[in-house]
Structure 1
Amino acid sequence: MSFITKSMYLTMITLGGSVKRHFEKNTINSYEKSMSTLKCIIRRSSKSDFGKKHDFINIKNLKEYKEKVPISTYDDYEKYVMKMCRGEKNILVCDNIKYFALTSGTTGKQKLIPTTRKGIKVGAKYMGILTERILYENLKEQWNYGKGIMLTDIVNTRYTISGIPISSATSGGMKSIKSIIPFIWTSPIEVMSMNDKESALYLHILFALRDENLSYISGVFISSILDFFRIMEKQWENLVYDISHGTLNENLKIEPEFRKVLLEKNYPLKKRASEIEGEFKRGFKGIAKRLWKSIVYIATVTGGSFSVYDDKVNYYSGNLIIYSNAYAASEAVIGMNPNVGKISYVVLSDTAFYEFIPVECSESNIITKTINELEIGKVYEIVVTNFSGLYRYRIGDVVKVIGYYNNSPEIKFLYRKNQLLNMASEKTTEAHVTEALRRTSQKLKLDIVDYSTMEDNNVTPGRYIFYMEIRDSKESNIIAETLDKELCKTNFAYGRFRKNKKLGEIKVILLRENTFSKVKSYMIQKGVSKNQLKIPRIIRDKEILKMLNENSK
C-alpha cells in the first residue's frame, strides 16, 4: 500500500471519531436536534417563492409549520422543478441547485429531485467518514489500509436547459471526492466515467484483480456485488489474458480517449495473472478470500428485497462480513447503521426533518408523528423536509421501528408503497415475497439470477405471475407450487385468500439467460444511473413486460 493511501484512511478514521461523537450526541438529543434542523431549513428558505407562499418567515413552531405546509408528493413539485430546470432562482430554496438527482423509477415515473450543496454536505460526513470509523472499530483486528473497489460511476445522465447536471444521487456525490479516488479505490477514474455498464464492470474487476492487497469490495446495492462476481466467473479467461499481456479485450466498448489511458495503466503482470488463473481453475466458491488474502469486508446496501442476493454473494465471497452502512434516498441520508453484521438504521436528526405517518392512518385524515413519538413494533411511512427544497414530502418508504439507539428510533426498511401486490386486500410486501423466495430457493436448491412480479386479472380468481431467471433446469410448475405454499406462510392474509379461492395459485414464467441484463440495459437507456439499477419487483413499465414475455422459455 502507498503512504498516501494509508494516510488518507488514517485521516478518515480520525475524523470519523469526531463524527461519531457528534452522532452519539444527536441521538441522545434527537428531538431537540430535529426541531433545530427544521428551524434551520425554514430560515434558509424563507425568501424562496415556496417559502413566501407558505409564510415561512412567520412560522414559530412545528404546529404552525404543519398548519401552513400540507403533506406533499412529487406532483406538487413538478411545476417548481421545471422552473428550476430552466435556471430560475429562489424557487423552492434560496441556495443554488448543485444537480438534480434522477430517481430509478422502479415504482413509477422517474423524478428529478433538486439537490443543493448543503443537502449533500449534511449527509456526506455520515456516508463516508462515519462509515469508515464504524468499520474500523468493529474490524480492528483484521484491519489493513489497502485500497478497495467501489462499483460506481460519475456519469451525468444529461443536463437541464440551463446547464444543471442531472445524475443519480450517488454519481453526484462521487464528483465531490473525485480528486482522492485514485488513492482509495483500484478503478481508474476513466472506468467510472464510461458509459457502457458491462464494459465498465469488466474493467472494475480487472483493476481489482491486479491489486493483490485489496481490502474491501463496495457497491451501492448488493445486486451490483453479485454482478461483479458473476461477470468475473463468466469472463475469467479474458481477464487473465488481459492482465498477463497488458491488453484490453477488443469487445469492450471503451471510449477511444479512455482506452489509450487504461492500456498504459494495465501494464503486464504475468506473475499475478498466473496466481489468479490458478485460483479460478479451482472453482468460484469462496473466490474472494482466495484472490485477495487481505480482504476484510463487503460494504453495500442489502436487506429487504435485496436479501435474495445474499446467499449467492456469500458463496462467492466465502461469507465475508457484509456491512449495510446507510439508509439513504435521493431526498436525504435517513439513517446510519452503527452495527456491522446487523441490518438496521438509526434515524439521523440533522440530515433532514422527519415525520412519520402510521400505516393504519386513513388517507382522508393523515396524522404524523415526530422522532420522539414512535412506538417500537409499529410501522410508519416516512415524510421528509430537507435542505434542498422538499417540504413534508412523502418519499414512499415504509419502515418498522425495532428499537431505540439512545433516544433516536432504530428502524428497518420494509417496502416501497407502490411495490405492493394487493389484489384482494392481502397486501403482499417485498418482505413477504423475499422470504418466500428464500425458502423456495433453499428447498429446491435454486440459483435465482433475478425476478419480477405482476398481478394477473386475466383469470378468475386473480393470481400473481413471477418472472424468474434461474440457473437451473427445474420445472416452472414445481417452483410455482413450492413458492405458493411458502408465500402462504410468510403472508397469512395471502394464505387465507388462497384457501378461500379468492386468489389463484402463482404462475411462474422462466426466462432465458441474460434477460435481466437486457432489462438493466433498457433502464440505463431510459436514463437510470448504473449506480441506482434496481430490478422493479412489480412490473409497471409496459416495455419491460414486453421484454420479459419475449424472453420467456
Structure 2
Amino acid sequence: MLVFKKEPSEYVRYSTCILGFFSSSFLSAHQRLFLMAGRMETMEYEDGLKILEELTTNAHQIQERVLEDILKRNAGTEYLRGFLNGQADKQLFKRNVPIVTYEDLKPYIDRIANGEPSDILLADPITQFFLSTGTSGGQPKLIPSTAESFEQRMLEPTLEDLVMKKHFDGLDKGKTMCLFFVKPEIETPSGLMAKFFTTSYFQSNSFKNGSAKICTSPIDTILCLDNKQSMYCQLLIGLLQRDDVVRIESIFVSVFARSIKFLIDYWKDLCSNIRTGCLSDWITDPGCKNAVSLILTGPDPELADSIEHICDHKSWEGIIKKLWPNAKHISSIITGSMSQYISLLESYCGGIPLVSPLYASSEATFGINLKPLSKPFDVSYTFLSNMAYFEFLPVNKASREKAQELQFNNTVSEKASIEMTKENGNVEPVDLTNVKIGQCYEVVVTTMAGLYRYKVGDILKATGFYNNTPQFQFVERQNVVLSIDLDKTSEADLLKAITNAKLFLDPLGFVLTLCSSYTDTSSTPGRYVLFWELRMKESNDFPKLDPRIMEQCCSIVEESFDFTYKSLRKSNIIAPLQIRMVKHGTFDALMDFYVSKGASINQYKTPSCIKSEEAIKILNAGVIGKFFSPKTSF
C-alpha cells in the first residue's frame, strides 16, 4: 500500500516487509520514484493520481533532488571530472558543464561500445544501448541505458493509463488492440546489445506482466521479427476479438496509417481465414502460428460475413469505428511530423477520438498529455519532473527572421545581421519551472544514464502550467529545414504551409494522405519539391488531377512561407515550387526502404525533408504528375 505525506521529500512509502528497506525516508526522491515505477501494477487508481499531483506540485524540489542525485553518483566519472573536479555542486555544473549534442558525447559512447568501462561517462554499468536516429534514415545514435534508468521509465505507461481511465469509462472492461513491432538487436564490440527503446520495452517483464495482458496481440506476434507476418496476425486476432476491443494503440500514428493500407490489401484473406478457421499458408513464423491457433480455433462464417460486409465498399470512411464498434479512443503519437496523418486518420476513425498520449524519445521520457480529448493540433504535454533534469534554451525564431529580412533589404549590414543572430543564440538556459508561457525553447536533458546537458534537438512552446509544472506543445525538430540560399524553412513552417493547401483541397473532396520534400539543386536556380499522395475522401480511389487546382496548391504553399523565401523567389534566386504527385503505395515503398536500413516500424516517421538520394529515387519512381507554382510576384 502506498502512503502519501505532505512534504515533497516524502512521496511514497512501501511496506518494509515487501521492499526490505527500513524506511523510505532514507531514500532520495529519485530512488523512491524509481522503486515506485517498478511496482506500479499494484497501485490503486487514486494512489496513482496522487503521485501525479505530487510530481506536478513539487516539480522544482524534485528537479533539484534529481540533479543532486545525478551529480553525487556521477561527479567522479572521467567526463564530469574534467568540469567539476569531483565535486557534486549544482551551480558548478551549470557554470562549467557545456551544453552538448550527440557528436560531443559520441567519442565516450563509442569507447564504451568498444569495450571500455562505463564509468568513463556514468557510474552505473550500462546494460544496453537504445538506437535513435532523431529523424528516420539518419545514422543511428547509441543512447546509454542502465537497469535503473530503464525501470524508472516504466512509471510513464502507468501514469498514462491512469489519465486515460479518468477521461474514458469502461477501459478496464475490454481489451486494447495493439499494433506493436520489434526490430533485431545489434551486438556492439563490447557485447552490449543495441536496440530500439520500443523493442526493449516489449521484451521486458514490465510489459509482459502489465500492458501485454490486456492486448489482443499475443506477445509472440509482437516479438515476431517479420513485420509483415506480425502485422497480419495482429490484425487477424484484433478482428477475431473485435467486440472486446475498447481502445486501439500504436506507438506512432504512421504505423496505424500503414495498418489501414494493409487492411485494404488483405481484408479478403483475413475474412477467408476467419471463415475457414485456417491460417494462411504464408504465415510460417512458429510463434505467430501457435499464438493464432489458440484464438482461431474453428470456422466462424458469421463473423467473416460481418467483416466482409463492412470492408466490401468503395468508401472506407469510418472503417475503424465499423470494425471495432466499442473502441473508445485511438492512442498514438500524432504531434510533430506525425500531424500529416491526422486528416487521413480522422476520415477512417468515424469519430473515435485520436489521443496523443505522451512525448518521449530514446534519451528520456518527457511528459504526458493530461487532456487526452484535446484536438490533435492543440495537444500539450505536461512534463514529468522525476524523469530527468530538464533545462530549456530560449529560441527566438522571430528575431532570426527579422535579422534576415533587414539584411535582405540592406537595412543593416551583413556583419550587424550576424551579430544579431549571435546575440539571439547566446542565451542562458532556464530551469523547468522558470519557463515563460508563449516562449519557444530547445529542450536540454541531463539523465542518470550519462547524458549531461544534452540537446535533444526538439523545439517546444510553453503553453501553460498544471500545478507548478509547465506544459509544452511540440513545434519542430531543430535544423530540419529546406534551404536553397538564405532561406531557412523549418519543419513547422513546411507543415503549416501544407496545412493551408489542405484547407483548399478539403471542399473538393481530396485528402492529402502523405507528403515529403527535398531541395532540388540539379539545375539553377534550385527549387523546393514536394511529394504528395492524394485520395478521394469518399473512397480510396486516386483523384483526377486538374492542373489548375494543383498549381493553386503550389501557390498557396509558397504564399505561406516567410519573407526571405518570397524575396528570393521574386529575385529568381529560387525557382517556382513544384509538387510531384505519386501513385498509391509509393510512401509504403519509402517506409520499406528505411526499415530495411534499420529503422523501427514502431518509431518510423515519414521524413519531412529527405536527404537520401536512394529515398528520392524511390519517390521519383512513383511520380505520375508534376505541377509548378505559376506565381511570379509576392
TM-score (normalizing by structure 1): 0.90
Residue in 1 that maps onto 2:500? 439
d(CA) in 1 for partners of 2:568, 2:438: 25
Deviations 1:496-517 (A, max 9, x none): 5545555332111222332222
Specify the alignment match of 2:57 in structure 1. Answer: 28
Letter in 2 for 1:352: A
Q: Does the 8 Å contact 2:321/2:351 carry over to 1? A: no
Contact 1:12 1:133 in 2 (8 A): no
Aligned residue among 147, 156, 173 for 2:201? 173
Change (3 A) 1:105 1:59: closer
Q: Greater shift after overlay, 286-295 or 484-493?
A: 484-493
| Bigger mean CA offset, 52-61 vs 359-368 | 359-368
Give the conservation status (yes or no) of the 8 Å contact 2:338–2:605: no
- Most deviating of 182-191 and 204-213: 182-191
Where do 1:129-168 residues align within 5 Å? 129-140=158-169, 143-168=171-196
* 1:4-40 per-position Cα deviation (integer Å, ceiling 9, x unaligned): xxxxxxx859545333322222222222221211111
Which one of the candidate residues 381, 384, 387 is aligned to 1:351?
387
Q: Counterparts of 1:363-442 in structure 2 under 5 Å?
A: 365-442=426-503
Report if aligned partners of 1:102, 1:169 keep a CA contact under 8 Å in 2.
yes
What is the identity, as a one-letter code, of the residue corresponding to 2:50? R
Larger displacement relative to structure 2 (311-320 or 452-461)? 452-461
How many angstroms apart in 1 are the aligned matches of 2:366 and 2:341?
23
Taking structure 1 as reference, are residues 434 and 476 closer, same or farther at Cα in structure 2, changes over 3 Å only? farther
Counterpart check, 1:200 vs 2:261: no
1: distance between equivalents of 2:277 and 2:428? 62
State yes or no: 1:549 paired with 2:620. Answer: yes
Q: Is the 8 A contact 1:476 1:509 kept in 2?
A: no
Q: What is the Cα deviation at residue 56 of structure 1?
A: 6.3
Q: Distance in 2 between matches of 1:180 and 1:28?
A: 28
Letter in 1 for 2:519: E
Give the counterpart of 2:341 among 295, 309, 314: 309
Would you say the 8 A contact 2:274–2:301 is kept in 1?
yes
Cα distance in 1 for partners of 2:297, 2:132 equals 38
Does 2:217 correspond to 1:187?
A: yes
Q: Distance in 2 between matches of 1:25 and 1:277?
A: 50
Q: Between the two structures, name the one with larger relative contact order (CA 8 Å, sep ≥ 6).
A: 1
Unpaired segments of 5 or more residues in structure 1? 1-10
Report the counterpart of residue 3 of structure 1 in structure 2: none
1:461, distance to aligned residue in structure 2 (A) = 4.2
Cα separation, 2, equivalents of 1:202 and 1:470: 25
Is residue 93 from structure 1 mapped to residue 93 from structure 2 by the alignment?
Answer: no
- For 1:424 and 1:345, how far apart are their aligned partners in 2? 35
Partner of 2:519, secondary structure, is strand
**1:451–1:539 Cα change, 3 Å:** same
Would you say 1:110 and 2:162 are equivalent positions?
no
CA contact (8 A) 1:481 1:506 kept: no
Q: Deviations over 1:92-136 (max 9, x none)?
A: 21222232111135274221111122222333212x111111111
1:321 corresponds in structure 2 to 353
Q: Is the 8 A contact 2:132 2:141 kept in 1?
A: yes
8 Å CA contact retained: 1:422, 1:428: yes
Structure 1 residue 382: Cα displacement: 1.0
Contact 1:73-1:394 within 8 A present in 2 as well = yes
Q: Please give the secondary structure, in 1, of the residue aligned with 2:120.
A: coil
Q: Which has the greater radius of gyration?
A: 2
The aligned amino acid for 2:83 is: H
Q: Does the 8 Å contact 1:477/1:508 carry over to 2?
A: no
Q: Distance in 2 between matches of 1:180 and 1:158?
A: 26
Aligned to 2:105: 77
- Structure 1 stretch 240-249 or stretch 391-400: which is displaced more? 240-249
> Partner residue of 1:48?
77
Give the letter aligned to residue 380 of structure 1.
Y
Moved more, 231-240 or 440-449: 440-449
SS at match of 2:623: coil
Corresponding position of 1:4: none
Q: Which stretch shifts more, 332-341 or 242-251?
A: 242-251
Distance (whole Å) between structure 2 residues aligned to residue 446 and residue 170 of structure 1: 34
Cα deviation, residue 364, structure 1: 6.6
- Stretch moving more, 48-57 or 373-382: 48-57
| In structure 2, C-alpha distance between the alignment counterparts of 1:71 and 1:242, rounded to whole Å | 56
Q: Is the 8 A contact 1:149 1:185 kept in 2?
A: yes
1:39 paired residue number: 68
User: 2 CA distance for matches of 1:148 and 1:257?
Assistant: 20
Contact 2:383 2:470 in 1 (8 A): yes
The offset of 1:41, in angstroms, is 1.2
Q: 1:152: Cα distance to partner?
A: 1.4
**Is 1:489–2:566 an aligned residue pair?**
no
Quote the Cα distance in structure 2 between the aligned partners of 1:432 and 1:129.
Answer: 35
- Deviation, 1:490, is 6.2
Supply the RMSD in Å over aligned alpha carbons.
Answer: 2.5
Alignment partners' CA distance in 1, 2:596 and 2:177: 25
User: Structure 2: which 5+ runs fail to align?
Assistant: 1-39, 397-420, 536-541, 625-634
- Give distance in 1, aligned partners of 2:354 and 2:310: 23
Query: Deviation string for 1:368-391 (max 9, x for gaps)?
Result: 111133221111111111121111
- Counterpart among 281, 302, 310 of residue 250 in structure 1: 281
Structure 1 distance, partners of 2:75, 2:44, is 33
Distance 1:185 1:56 in 2: 50
Query: Which of these residues, 209, 225, 239, is aligned with residue 270 of structure 2?
Result: 239
One-letter amino acid of the counterpart of residue 479, structure 1:
M
Structure-1 residue corresponding to 2:152: 122
Q: CA deviation at 1:74?
A: 1.0
1:389–1:58 CA distance, 2 compared to 1 (3 A): same
Asked if 1:293 is matched to 2:325, the reply is yes
Matched, 1:463 2:527: yes
Letter in 2 for 1:68: N
Determine the C-alpha separation between the residues in 2 that align with 1:237 and 1:481. 39
Amino acid at match of 1:85: A
TM-score, with length taken from structure 2: 0.79
Identity %: 28
Match of 1:284 among 301, 306, 316: 316
Residue of structure 1 in register with 2:245 after alignment? 214
Paired position in structure 1 for 2:410: none
Aligned to 1:273: 304
SS in structure 2 opposite 1:97? coil
Question: 1:492-539 CA distances to partner (integer Å, 9 max, x unpaired)?
Answer: 654455455553321112223322222212212221112111111111
Residues 104 and 529 of structure 1 are in contact (CA less than 8 Å); yes or no, is this contact kept in structure 2?
Answer: no
